[in-house]
Structure 1
Amino acid sequence: MAGCGFDDLPLTRPGPPLNAWGLYGEGDEYGRLNLITAQTVQAGLREAKEGITINLNLPLDTMPLNPTRAPLRHEIIHRTHCNDDHVSFNTQGSTQWDGFRHYPYLNYPEKQQYIYYGGMTSDEARDRSNHRCGIQNYAKKPISGRAHLLDIASFLERHQRSPLSYFDASTPIDLETLESCAAESRVVFKPGDILIVRTGWTEAFFGISEEERQSLPHRQKRGSCGVSSDPEVLRWHWENGIAAVASDAVAYEAYPSVNSPSIHETFLAGWGMPIGELFDLRELAAECKRLKRWTFFFTSMPLYVNGGIASPPNAQAVL
């Protein structure tokens, strides 16, 4: 089954569309992270040529974009001669990885409920005593290896194409744009690679006033740019052997999605592929442009929380 093609999906029948359940064995909890091997990590290390390290994380106290997510709370605890501190935060309040227990298939009539990766039910996914498919798996098998930046924002500007809409509408990045940007950047995908897409959302967010930023979570329709969830785009991700995806936007995919299944449903619940959101790609994009090289070593060590839903990525790029 390791050579499973996109047209072979879904593997579990009856089951939700495009699921790859069972591809890596019954009870698998790593999904596409199985594509990250010693060989793919070594290939990534060979891309660390200049020894330039770049942080990819926004501060943990960045304002959450979802009004239901609490902001970071930081308390300093003085103990006679030294200090401790206590930090409390929503793991999806700033730069984040979505875990496999975060987002399910929304329409699965055979089960009459929401279903997560491998057939996990809603009751199982919200049970703290059940650690199956928890975020600890991202820590046990760290998301590290060869990565590519597709700088879509710069590509659109360079070719005088219409810019993306960051806050007012769901602007999709189509397959032609992804492929053209990859070709222009001399990006060649291999199985186990990590794909990072820059939309320019971070610059737009910090370019508006504080009052405008505070109003974003309370919009009637919280639209955002991102990758299209058209079937041809899903096929492109699968056939390129991508192990994990991330972007600087709020959902990786254009939100709200106009397709079913969406990228969140397909990648998280169907394939077991991590989705990274709100990555800070400003310095990385500048260095890639300066070096004219958009492939690098990527490493991320998420929090080791048994049964966790999501995590800050603690990610860096090494050029």
Structure 2
Amino acid sequence: MKRWTNRPNGANWGDFGDDDQRGRLNFLTPDVVKRAVAEVREGKVFCLSLPLDLPGGNVLNPRRFPPKIEFSMRGEDPAINYPMGKLNPGQTDVVCDDKVTLSTQYSTQWDSLAHFGAVFDADGDGKPEVVYYNGYRGGEHVRGPFDYLNGRKPMPGPYGARALGIENMASAGVQGRGVLIDLMHHFGTEPKAIGYDELMYVLKTDGIEILRGDILCVRTGFDRVLIGHGGNPPAGVATSICCGLNGSDEKLLRWIDEAGIVAIASDNEGVEFLPTPKPNPMGTHVPLHEHCLFKLGIHLGELFLLSDLAEWLRANGRFTFLLTAPPLRLPTAVGSPVTPIATV
């Protein structure tokens, strides 16, 4: 079912089918995955996830909080060091069960395609509506308690992403060729917006070729900054140190489209450099999110742990690897923690 008359300028809506919910992950074909597996030469693995209680506090994002782990209950008893002999005299088993409350996008995480949309006239009737990738609608497919465009009108449940939820990314598998773009090595840790020209310099200098179906992994050094603060990062740290991709650079956005990459993961918060160097007072203030999640169906990963991998790859004259990074298969969620694994 086609859900739009107008599609945004530069969008690929409909290119993978009117009902597509995977976006550029459709490029992860069997041949692309086999090419990625061929990157494994040493059998050495790197965990690319921060401990999920980092960054610590909610300085990076006031709406996201560290995970809270609690014990489960067996009737009136906490199920930690619980002797089963309480139920069955003579039984020697001891059991522990717990539960966790977490913000799905607090630490190392993937954005689903329902994470970011726009107010856009997809119907062509002169009246904009809340729309997400491929024309899926706010209120109908991505459901919340209020219709904000109509006076905060209360909306009935159930709530959540009935389309474009993170489970679509999980079922796709997310296994492909990772390509390490080491911005820290070339530009240090000073805050800098990296556009097309700087990125092309890195690719040429390091001898990197980008192929359709690749997953771009952008190292800025921010992972080491967070770890160095030990769970207590100072206010403003996300915008005062390290570089990021310049979402205001039209040449960079065009390259992201034409290169055929399926996802971008970074060790910083937001992937793109914020605040954007050229904010549009009448449009988006996070142009890379708009371009990737809303227009092209390119998933974004944030706060990946990339520095150890980056240093090993450079020491061994490599920049590519097998990346395995499926999110939780959590239906209707708009994001998910992830424990990515790089195999070299």
* TM-score tier (shorter): 0.7 to 0.9
Amino acid at match of 1:314: T
Stretch deviating more after TM superposition (22-31 or 98-107): 98-107
1:266 deviates by 1.3
Superimposed CA distance per residue, residues 5-53 of structure 1 (whole angstroms, 9 cap, x where no aligned partner): xxxxxxx662323221100111111100001110000000000111110
Superimposed CA distance per residue, residues 57-114 of structure 1 (whole angstroms, 9 cap, x where no aligned partner): 0111112421111221012332322101111110110011011111112555844233
| Secondary structure of the structure 1 residue equivalent to 2:226 | helix
The answer to whether the 8 Å contact 1:224/1:250 transfers is: no
Residues 1:70 and 2:95 are matched in the alignment: no
Tell me: CA distance 1:129–1:70, structure 2 relative to 1, closer, same or farther (3 Å). Answer: closer
In 2: Cα distance, 1:156 partner to 1:316 partner: 26
Written as runs of structure 1 = structure 2, the 5 A alignment for 1:146-225 is 146-157=177-188, 163-165=189-191, 171-208=192-229, 213-216=233-236, 225=243
Tell me: CA distance 1:96–1:130, structure 2 relative to 1, closer, same or farther (3 Å). Answer: closer
Question: In the alignment, which of 112, 131, 141 is matched to residue 99 of structure 1?
Answer: 112
TM-score, normalisation: structure 2: 0.80
The answer to whether the 8 Å contact 1:44/1:145 transfers is: yes
1:300 deviates by 0.9
Residues 1:271 and 2:302 are matched in the alignment: no
In 2: Cα distance, 1:179 partner to 1:294 partner: 15
Question: In the alignment, which of 303, 314, 318 is matched to residue 293 of structure 1?
Answer: 318
Amino acid at match of 2:52: L
The answer to whether the 8 Å contact 1:199/1:248 transfers is: yes
Amino acid at match of 2:173: P
Aligned position for 1:126: 143
Superimposed CA distance per residue, residues 183-228 of structure 1 (whole angstroms, 9 cap, x where no aligned partner): 22221111111101111112223335765x15348x9x88974101
In 1: Cα distance, 2:335 partner to 2:240 partner: 21
Question: In the alignment, which of 79, 102, 107 is matched to residue 89 of structure 1?
Answer: 102
Question: In the alignment, which of 258, 262, 265 is matched to residue 239 of structure 1?
Answer: 258
Aligned position for 2:170: 139
The answer to whether the 8 Å contact 1:106/1:265 transfers is: no
In 1: Cα distance, 2:120 partner to 2:199 partner: 28
- May I ask how many residue pairs the two structures share in their alignment? 295
| Secondary structure of the structure 2 residue equivalent to 1:114 | strand
| Secondary structure of the structure 1 residue equivalent to 2:235 | helix
Residues 1:54 and 2:46 are matched in the alignment: yes
Show structure 2 runs of 5+ residues with no match: 72-78, 84-93, 145-158
In 1: Cα distance, 2:29 partner to 2:227 partner: 37
| Secondary structure of the structure 1 residue equivalent to 2:46 | strand
Residues 1:282 and 2:307 are matched in the alignment: yes
Tell me: CA distance 1:144–1:29, structure 2 relative to 1, closer, same or farther (3 Å). Answer: same
| Secondary structure of the structure 1 residue equivalent to 2:202 | helix
In 1: Cα distance, 2:109 partner to 2:62 partner: 16
Superimposed CA distance per residue, residues 125-162 of structure 1 (whole angstroms, 9 cap, x where no aligned partner): 135365211100111101111110010110124xxxxx
The answer to whether the 8 Å contact 1:164/1:199 transfers is: no
In 1: Cα distance, 2:307 partner to 2:138 partner: 37
Stretch deviating more after TM superposition (84-93 or 202-211): 202-211
| Secondary structure of the structure 1 residue equivalent to 2:131 | coil
Question: In the alignment, which of 315, 336, 342 is matched to residue 311 of structure 1?
Answer: 336
Tell me: CA distance 1:242–1:75, structure 2 relative to 1, closer, same or farther (3 Å). Answer: same
Rg comparison, structure with higher value: 2
The answer to whether the 8 Å contact 1:201/1:248 transfers is: yes
The answer to whether the 8 Å contact 2:167/2:329 transfers is: yes
Amino acid at match of 1:89: L
The answer to whether the 8 Å contact 1:131/1:307 transfers is: yes
The answer to whether the 8 Å contact 1:91/1:311 transfers is: yes
Amino acid at match of 2:135: G
TM-score, normalisation: structure 1: 0.86
In 2: Cα distance, 1:176 partner to 1:232 partner: 9
| Secondary structure of the structure 1 residue equivalent to 2:114 | coil
The answer to whether the 8 Å contact 1:35/1:192 transfers is: yes
In 2: Cα distance, 1:130 partner to 1:94 partner: 21
| Secondary structure of the structure 2 residue equivalent to 1:122 | coil
Show structure 1 runs of 5+ residues with no match: 1-11, 158-162, 166-170
Tell me: CA distance 1:186–1:224, structure 2 relative to 1, closer, same or farther (3 Å). Answer: closer
Provide the identity percentage.
Answer: 32
The answer to whether the 8 Å contact 1:143/1:299 transfers is: yes
